């Protein structure tokens, strides 16, 4: 049976596990109908021109985990940023792991969507925010139809959340193939600040497909820093759909570190609903073998006097392929917009491919919009220079790649995250530089 049919026919089973007499369920069933009409995206859709899901849709995915899976902290410690104090919301095969988590209701809510959906005290927040910014395209509609579990983060106004929140979804690989659909809802109140680190991680090389949806709402003067670490097995694929809705005077940043996975698609959407908003989208992509990463960004400038900054760096070796599709829409009312987009790529091998496509739709006449895209190789003269000083070629190449990616790391505000990314990059490039950049 094809995956689409399998999903549709399993819906009754899904409904047995959730409250079907709720407003949320109306949203779900509506989304299911949309997915039924739309189906999975194909390359015929302009937005999916360079990314085919065919190779991952043919797996026979297990849709609902059959049993509770326990894992020991020591076995997965390395996937945490473990050298800092943090809140943790951890899922194993889609099920909440209270053992690995550290949640709170003390002043802020760092907990589970499943409990937020049922508890009366969260009713208003769910009504006001759930599914309010997610656009119901193919994959988001599918996630919404089955939305039942994920991280729920609700920060009241004037709150500086003093430690980062880590959201990690582990896949044990106990099934031959697993489909996971986490749904995260993050609401940051007026004048509050939060830092979030998200990771999807398989523990074996059994196939995993994750179709995640995250909605982030930043109320007036809120500040959100979001870090996505993608460094999964070559058998794990991720379709990440993130929607960030910003009210006036907010600063929100999303850093995406794509260092591994079979097919990774990042649909990252920012909506600026008030004046003096700053949206920051940054990414480092380092791929090898046949890995494929597709960054599909949208910044929607709706109000005047706002800014957006996009900076994506990619390094592609072997037969890996990358896509950067960066769309910036500036509405007629959005005068004095300052939108900046930069996408630089280095191809290490002749067989690696990058498809870069900036898309600017500007309807206002008093704006500053810049975009730049480069595709190149490592600078031979720079390599020679470093070799001449006694640095071996491999290290020299790594150093150059570090230097190349450095502008993205500069804006990472959690030093331990920065150090971890540095380490992951060094490991990926198979070098030990003996110092951090």
| CB half-sphere exposure, 371, CA atoms < 13 A | 16
Cβ–Cβ under 8 Å, residues 363 and 335: no
Pattern 333-372, another protein, x by CB under 8 A? ----------------------------------------
| Piece in contact with another protein (CB under 8 A), picked from 177-185, 283-291, 311-319, 379-387 | 379-387
Closest approach, Cβ 415 to another protein, in A, equals 16
| Cα dist from 166 to 21, 89, 142, 241, 247, whole Å | 32, 6, 25, 18, 24
In the bound state with another protein, the residue whose beta carbon lies nearer, of 8 and 382, is 382
Helix ranges (DSSP H) in 265-412: 380-388, 393-409
Instruction: Kindly tell me the burial class for residue 16, based on how many C-beta atoms sit within 10 Å of its own C-beta (0-12, 13-18, 19 or more).
Output: exposed
In the bound state with another protein, the residue whose beta carbon lies nearer, of 5 and 380, is 380
Tell whether residue 376 is a contact of another protein (CB under 8 A): no
| Cα dist from 197 to 40, 76, 268, whole Å | 28, 16, 15
Q: Give DSSP secondary structure letters for 409-433.
A: HTT---HHHHHHHHHHHHHHTT---
Tokens 């582990």 identify what position? Answer: 170
The closest alpha carbon to 18, from 64, 61, 67, belongs to: 64
Tell whether residue 121 is a contact of another protein (CB under 8 A): no
| Piece in contact with another protein (CB under 8 A), picked from 115-123, 220-228, 280-288, 375-383 | 375-383
Which one of residues 33, 372, 384, 413 is an interface residue with another protein (CB under 8 A)?
384
Closest approach, Cβ 381 to another protein, in A, equals 6
Closest approach, Cβ 288 to another protein, in A, equals 22
H or E element: which one contains 117? helix 113-118
Cβ–Cβ under 8 Å, residues 276 and 304: no
Which one of residues 149, 215, 225, 395 is an interface residue with another protein (CB under 8 A)?
395
Binders of another protein among residues 403 to 422 (CB under 8 A) are 403, 406-407
Which one of residues 382, 419, 424, 426 is an interface residue with another protein (CB under 8 A)?
382
Tell whether residue 433 is a contact of another protein (CB under 8 A): yes
Tell whether residue 423 is a contact of another protein (CB under 8 A): no
Tell whether residue 393 is a contact of another protein (CB under 8 A): yes
136-149: b (≥16 Cβ within 10 Å) or e: bbbbbbbbbbbbbb
Tell whether residue 385 is a contact of another protein (CB under 8 A): yes
Binders of another protein among residues 187 to 206 (CB under 8 A) are none
Number of residues near another protein (by CB under 8 A):
26
CA distance 75 to 62: 24
Tell whether residue 392 is a contact of another protein (CB under 8 A): yes
Tell whether residue 430 is a contact of another protein (CB under 8 A): no
Closest approach, Cβ 398 to another protein, in A, equals 11
Which one of residues 47, 71, 373, 391 is an interface residue with another protein (CB under 8 A)?
391
Closest approach, Cβ 384 to another protein, in A, equals 5
Determine the distance from the C-alpha atom of residue 92 to the mean position of all C-alpha atoms in its chain, rounded to a whole number. 18
The closest alpha carbon to 327, from 350, 352, 295, belongs to: 295
Q: What is the token pair recorded at 184? A: 């995260």
Tell whether residue 77 is a contact of another protein (CB under 8 A): no
Tell whether residue 33 is a contact of another protein (CB under 8 A): no
Cβ–Cβ under 8 Å, residues 398 and 429: yes
Tell whether residue 386 is a contact of another protein (CB under 8 A): yes
H or E element: which one contains 201? strand 193-202
Closest approach, Cβ 382 to another protein, in A, equals 4
Contact footprint for another protein (CB under 8 A): 379-382, 384-393, 395-396, 399-400, 402-403, 406-407, 433-435, 437
């Amino acid at each position: 049976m094809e995956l689409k049919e399998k999903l549709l026919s399993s819906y009754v089973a899904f409904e047995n596990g959730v409250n079907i007499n709720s407003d949320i369920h109306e949203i779900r069933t509506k989304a299911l109908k949309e997915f039924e009409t739309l189906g999975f995206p194909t390359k015929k859709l302009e937005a999916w021109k360079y990314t085919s899901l065919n190779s991952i849709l043919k797996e026979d995915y297990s849709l609902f985990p059959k049993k509770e899976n326990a894992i020991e902290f020591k076995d997965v410690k390395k996937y945490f940023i473990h050298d800092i104090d943090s809140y943790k919301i951890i899922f194993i095969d889609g099920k909440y792991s209270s053992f690995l988590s550290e949640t709170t209701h003390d002043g802020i809510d760092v907990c589970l969507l499943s409990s937020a959906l049922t508890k009366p005290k969260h009713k208003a927040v769910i009504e006001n925010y759930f599914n309010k910014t997610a656009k119901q395209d193919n994959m988001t509609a599918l996630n919404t139809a089955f939305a039942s579990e994920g991280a729920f983060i609700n920060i009241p106004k004037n709150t500086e959340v003093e430690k980062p929140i880590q959201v990690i979804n582990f896949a044990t690989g106990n099934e031959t193939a697993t489909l996971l659909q986490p749904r995260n809802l993050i609401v940051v109140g007026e004048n509050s600040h939060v830092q979030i680190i998200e990771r999807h991680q398989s523990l074996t090389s059994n196939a995993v497909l994750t179709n995640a949806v995250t909605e982030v709402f930043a109320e007036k003067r809120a500040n959100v820093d979001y870090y996505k670490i993608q460094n999964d097995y070559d058998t794990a694929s991720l379709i990440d759909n993130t929607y960030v809705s910003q009210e006036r005077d907010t600063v929100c940043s999303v850093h995406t570190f794509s260092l591994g996975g079979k097919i990774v698609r990042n649909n990252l959407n920012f909506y600026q609903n008030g004046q003096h908003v700053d949206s920051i989208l940054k990414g480092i992509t380092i791929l090898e073998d046949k890995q494929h990463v597709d960054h599909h960004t949208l910044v929607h400038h709706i109000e005047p006097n706002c800014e957006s900054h996009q900076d994506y760096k990619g390094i592609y070796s072997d037969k890996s392929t990358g896509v950067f599709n960066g769309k910036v829409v500036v509405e007629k009312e959005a005068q004095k917009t300052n939108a900046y987009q930069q996408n630089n790529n280095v191809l290490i091998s002749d067989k690696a491919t990058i498809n870069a496509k900036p898309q600017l739709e500007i309807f206002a006449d008093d704006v500053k919009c810049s975009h730049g895209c480069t595709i190149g190789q490592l600078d031979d003269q720079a390599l020679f220079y470093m070799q001449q000083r006694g640095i071996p070629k491999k290290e020299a190449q790594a150093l150059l790649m570090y230097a190349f990616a450095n502008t993205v790391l500069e804006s990472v505000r959690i030093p331990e995250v920065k150090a971890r990314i540095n380490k992951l990059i060094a490991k990926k490039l198979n070098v030990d530089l003996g110092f951090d950049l």
